[in-house]
Amino acid sequence: MRPAVPLLVQCLNDKNVNLRCEAAKALGNFRHDAAEVVPALVAAYKAEASTNTQRGVPSLHVEIIQSLGQFRTNAQAAVPLLIEIIRTDQSDKLSDAFMTLERIDPEMGISYWQKLQAAQTNPPPDDAVSNLYLQLFREGKVLGRNIARLFLREAGRDKRTS
């Protein structure tokens, strides 16, 4: 373990939200210390989600999710958290959670996209899920683009994807 890791992990619990954000962002660079960092990031996300909303900041959640994605297959311990976010969240964290899940476990990411797509029966054009697919298509994410193309075609919004 690198000497900075314990200090950065400790900073995840600091009162200063900016310090927590920077610590989460920095921890994503310590890929060789996944065994220590990934559980700390997951715990920090859960702690942040359960605290007073004035203390928590959506950007901190996004930083944690994005940092987890840096560990790719070494972040398997984060998969349950990401699935929970995908199932319950409708904010900007949703697309980050999908992209991170894709980086950690591509097969599960595809499987989850397919399950979500199958669960959606004729969603309205402005539905949050439809907008997520459209956003991923525009961003050119490989998984998102392929699933988005299928979804948007079925939803009758394929004119925007051409």
Sequential pLDDT tens for the chain (162 residues): 789 999 999 999 999 999 999 999 999 999 999 999 999 999 999 998 877 454 456 789 999 999 999 999 999 999 999 988 888 776 668 778 888 998 998 888 777 777 766 665 544 445 666 666 656 555 555 455 555 555 556 655 544 444
- Fold designation for 4-105: Leucine-rich Repeat Variant (1.25.10)
The CA-based angle 55-56-59, given to 5 degrees, is 135
pLDDT at 156: 58
SS (H, E, C) 33-91: HHHHHHHHHHHHHHHHHHCCCCCCCHHHHHHHHHHHHCCHHHHHHHHHHHHHHHHHCCC
pTM over 0.95: no
Look at the chain and count its residues.
Answer: 162
Domain boundaries, the chain: 4-105, 120-162
